Amino acid sequence: MSALKEFTTLLFGVHAHQPVGNFPEVIEEAHRRCYLPFLQTLHRFPEFRFSAHFSGWLLDILYQRFPEDMALLTEMVERGQTELFGGGDCEPVLAAIPARDRIGQLDCLSKKLERQFGQRPRGAWLTERVWEATVVPALADSGINYVAVDDYHFLCTGRQMTELDGFFTTEEDGRTLDLFPISETLRYRLPFSPAADAIAGLEKLAAEGRDAAVYFDDIEKFGIWPETYEWVYEKGWLEQFISGVIGSPSIRTSTYADYHAAHKTRGIVYLPTTSYSEMNEWTLPAKAADIYSALLAREHQAGTLELHRPFLRGGIWRNFFSRYPESNWMHKRMLALSNRLSKTAGLDDSVALYDMLYRAQANDAYWHGLFGGLYLPHLRRAVYSNLLRLEAALDLISPRPGSETIDLDHDGHEEVFLLGEGIQAVVKEDGLAAIHEFDSHELLHNFGDTLRRYPEHYYRKLDALNKTSPEKGSAEGISSAHDRVAFKHEILPEDMLADDAPRAIFVDRSIGDEGNRTLVDGYVVKEDLTYLATGDGWQLTKRLSLTGREISASYRFTGEPPGRFECQINLNMPSCDSFSGRFILADGSIPCGFGQTLRQEDLTEITLDDRELKGSVILRSNRPLTLHASPHKTVSQSEAGFEKIMQASCLTLSWSPGADEEWLICLEICADEA
């Protein structure tokens, strides 16, 4: 703690970002309810100095669609009121991408800020405050002098809260970087407590001799989170807060840049691999998160939580790759293409190719906590769209073989990559003999991009929700999204049942006499793409193939086949349950959309027509079978409440197999004619 002084310096920072691939109407609402009113309010108070970070992808959209927002920001930068922070251009978790791409992403946004605002950043926003020491060299080599992380990071080193009113220095591989500790207390107080209380809290810090109060958090808390637009703007919280800060003799405002230039480091510090405390819980599997949450509750009840919390770490951000195979697969696909791009010679337009890669590295679709992230199909689709666009471009430069086998995701099972006429299928040899990725490079879509149902720690809240009404705040403030619990959709117990297998293509089950289903997960490789499974008195040969624009699976039983057999096909159709996705029968009739259930007997052909995709998938069978189609939905939480999200159209095909009969099921991808 510094020597006693008469005022504390408020370092006020906001972070603005929208996920790559987010819906235009969502960005429109963010502009209307948050970005524009926030900037308009701050613009009226030039003496209130602050720092801001806008991700590069969002900046591009704001310049194109909302130039009035950018005009206000530009003027505030020019008059010295606002400092702009850099960071990864498309908001990657820097620790999760290769070092060469860290530098590339950082430099991309720094150049953009210098070009558009005449200011090259000295500070950088660290996505989700995910800290690993390995990011230091890339930040330093990119001209970044300082970043902001949570005070929790420092507490985990044994530092005391009273020490965290300045910045510290760390080093890695001969490079140094300064670190500002963001106050968790301020993160929860602003803007949710009354403005007068927030100002009183800052004045108390001044009375205690604290040199700086460090705040840096999502700008979306100022208008987009539930209840905040009315609270922040219509009821005047933001203007009251700014006026109170300006009028207080105990508080001054500064940009991080000016404070950093005028002060010296508090000394050396080495932070552990961690993120903010909420994230450390979200990364844990459900059972572990239950234990961790109960431990925190006991500490809170005993009155020792604040004392012991630095030593109760939870998990790390990379746990999401081990928790969710779908996230891990996307990540390893991204790493492989990054490596391939870095080694490819003769690039005519490397800027465009790296733009595809950087967009695929955007963090949002790789994890899940309070926000949808991984659970949102349109965000995963954006990742795959950019990966497939990049892959197709690299294939033109350096064609791949028609078949390649590798354990890409390091799960102990090899994957077979098959290439056809603009399509690609990936078979995982894990006992299911199923297809886990099914791509159209023409449509830039992965039809196998689905998400299975997982047990989630936050499901425990649902029982409480059935007994109490959602929190509405009070006259003394409003609830943070971290505390607010609500329903967006009705959630039933069966909606939360975990899946027994991945939501892949050609997942098989035998059906017993009493209707009980048994997953066929013991396929062994007989020869290339031919697999053998055994059951009670029968053997099943399954053969997968890719020809042209079509993948197929053939089934042939020997011995005494089960009475019934079924094959489940899960297809990610971008229209989901909207009006633009529909089933079309062989006679041209349209029975329903993807969001409804459909049962058809004696079916040999059906088309899944998707107007948003501008393409379709045709399913054909060589023999009549029974189709049961239904939407596959998962339950997740968001800042607005619990919701059900459609992940795939689940097609369950069933039939009564005969010995030595071949059943052939084919899927053909068709793109609309231009």
pLDDT digits (tens, 9 = 90+) for 551-572: 999 999 999 999 899 999 999 9
Distance separating alpha carbons of residues 166 and 210, to the nearest angstrom: 9
In one-letter notation, the amino acid at residue 666 is C
Distance separating alpha carbons of residues 587 and 133, to the nearest angstrom: 62
Domain for residue 264, yes or no?
yes
C-alpha Rg value of the chain to the nearest Å:
27
Burial string for 73-100 (b: 16+ CB within 10 Å, else e) reads bbebbeeebbbbbbbbbbbbbbbbbbee
Phi, psi of 521 (to 5 degrees): -125, 25
CATH number assigned to the domain comprising residue 642: 2.70.98.10
pLDDT of residue 493: 84
Distance separating alpha carbons of residues 184 and 129, to the nearest angstrom: 12
Give how far Cα 125 sits from Cα of 52, 122, 145, 368, 469, Å. Answer: 9, 10, 11, 20, 37
Tell the burial category of 503 from Cβ atoms under 10 Å away from its Cβ (0-12, 13-18, 19+): buried
CATH number assigned to the domain comprising residue 50: 3.20.110.20
CB contact at 8 A, 184 and 150: yes
pLDDT at 392 > cutoff 90: yes
Question: pLDDT tens, 366-381?
Answer: 999 987 799 999 999 9
pLDDT of residue 472: 41
Structural domain count of the chain: 2
pLDDT of residue 491: 84
pLDDT of residue 489: 67
pLDDT of residue 65: 96
218 included as an active-site residue: yes
Confidence of residue 1 (pLDDT cuts 50, 70, 90): very low
Distance separating alpha carbons of residues 517 and 511, to the nearest angstrom: 5
518 C-beta neighbours (distance < 10 Å), count: 14
Residue given tokens 């996920």 in the structure block: 19
CB contact at 8 A, 619 and 644: no
CB contact at 8 A, 420 and 442: no
**Which among 319, 303, 403, 431 has a CA at the least distance from the CA of 369?**
319
Domain for residue 315, yes or no?
no
Percent over 70 (pLDDT), the chain:
95
Concatenated DSSP letters of 605-617: EEEEEETTTTEEE
Domain for residue 183, yes or no?
yes
Confidence of residue 673 (pLDDT cuts 50, 70, 90): confident
pLDDT of residue 474: 44
Structure tokens at 387: 């990966």
pLDDT of residue 640: 67
12: part of which helix (H) or strand (E)? strand 8-16
Distance separating alpha carbons of residues 415 and 344, to the nearest angstrom: 23
pLDDT at 484 > cutoff 60: no
pLDDT of residue 470: 44
Domain for residue 255, yes or no?
yes
Question: pLDDT tens, 625-649?
Answer: 999 999 999 999 876 678 999 999 9
CB contact at 8 A, 356 and 390: yes
In one-letter notation, the amino acid at residue 669 is I
Pairing of strands 615-638, 598-610: antiparallel
Which of 282, 311, 327 marks a domain boundary?
A: 282
Which of 252, 282, 312 marks a domain boundary?
A: 282
Domain for residue 272, yes or no?
yes
Question: pLDDT tens, 52-78?
Answer: 999 999 999 999 999 999 999 999 999
Which of 217, 252, 282 marks a domain boundary?
A: 282
Rounded to the nearest 5 degrees, what angle is found at the Cα of 130, between the Cα atoms of 172 and 12? Answer: 100
* Beta-sheet strands, E only, within 72-128: 82-85, 123-125
Angle between helices 237-247 and 36-43 (to 10 degrees): 30
559 C-beta neighbours (distance < 10 Å), count: 13
Instruction: Answer left, alpha or beta for residue 336, where phi above 0 means left and psi between -120 and 50 means alpha.
Output: alpha
pLDDT at 478 > cutoff 60: no
In this structure, the chain runs to a length of: 674
Question: pLDDT tens, 268-315?
Answer: 999 999 999 889 999 999 999 999 999 999 999 999 999 998 999 899
CB-side neighbour CA atoms (13 Å) of 609: 18
pLDDT of residue 466: 53
411 included as an active-site residue: no
pLDDT at 506 > cutoff 50: yes
Containing domain of residue 588, as a range?
Answer: 457-671
Domain for residue 340, yes or no?
no
Q: What is the mean pLDDT of residues 583-596?
A: 97
Confidence of residue 51 (pLDDT cuts 50, 70, 90): very high
Structure tokens at 349: 């337009």
State yes or no: cis peptide before 191, omega within 30 of 0.
yes
Is residue 667 helix, strand or coil? Answer: strand
Question: pLDDT tens, 32-41?
Answer: 999 999 999 9
Question: pLDDT tens, 107-161?
Answer: 999 999 999 999 999 999 999 999 999 999 999 999 999 999 999 999 999 999 9
pLDDT at 400 > cutoff 50: yes
pLDDT of residue 637: 85
Domain for residue 341, yes or no?
no
Beta bridge partners of 477: 474
Structure tokens at 635: 């339950």
Identify the active-site residue in 60, 75, 114, 128.
128
pLDDT at 490 > cutoff 90: no
286: part of which helix (H) or strand (E)? helix 286-302
**Which among 202, 196, 212, 195 has a CA at the least distance from the CA of 254?**
212
pLDDT at 211 > cutoff 60: yes
**Mean per-residue pLDDT of the chain:** 93
pLDDT of residue 463: 60
**Which among 660, 672, 452, 655 has a CA at the least distance from the CA of 559?**
660
pLDDT at 252 > cutoff 90: yes
168 C-beta neighbours (distance < 10 Å), count: 22
Tell the burial category of 580 from Cβ atoms under 10 Å away from its Cβ (0-12, 13-18, 19+): middle
Confidence of residue 347 (pLDDT cuts 50, 70, 90): confident
Instruction: Answer left, alpha or beta for residue 67, where phi above 0 means left and psi between -120 and 50 means alpha.
Output: alpha
Domain for residue 199, yes or no?
yes
pLDDT of residue 471: 44
Identify the active-site residue in 29, 218, 290, 471.
218
Question: pLDDT tens, 159-209?
Answer: 999 999 999 999 999 999 999 999 999 999 999 999 999 999 999 999 999
Question: pLDDT tens, 407-465?
Answer: 999 999 999 999 999 999 999 999 999 999 999 999 999 999 999 999 999 888 776 55
Q: What is the mean pLDDT of residues 260-273?
A: 98
Residues with Cβ within 8 Å of 46's Cβ and at least 6 positions away in sequence, in order, are 76, 79, 81
